[in-house]
Amino acid sequence: MPFLLDAKTLEMGCNFTFDTVQGELDALGELEPCGPFEQLLPGSELYELGQVRVRTIGLDDLIRIKRHIRRPKDADSLAQLLAIKQVREEMSRRGEGPNEGPSTIR
């Protein structure tokens, strides 16, 4: 049965992964151990991609999820995320930008 992307399908589902011309896009309504979308909003980050604003999961929550799921394929990603966090913290201490990164809007 083919996948039909419409309002009814989106209402019946929670987590989706889409293949786009820009790469994979995860549209996730709930994540362990963080919970539903609403609980992730306070730590979320907003980025400008061309003419579109995209809200993403925050760095701290993403690190928490990667640590929780412990998949071997995420080990490299976790190391990179921790390095990004360290750079952001160092930049913040030096007053070079907000803790969330230079392109983040809260």
Question: Taking residues 77-82, what's their average pLDDT?
Answer: 94
Residues 100, 59: contact at Cβ < 8 Å? yes
Per-residue pLDDT, averaged over 5-24, amounts to 84
CA 81 to chain centroid? 11
Residue 33 has pLDDT above 70, yes or no: yes
pLDDT band at 89 (very low <50, low <70, confident <90, very high): very high
In order, the DSSP letters of 90-105 are HHHHTTSS-TT-TT-B
Pull the structure tokens for residue 38.
């609403």
* pLDDT of 19: 87
Report whether pLDDT(103) > 60: no
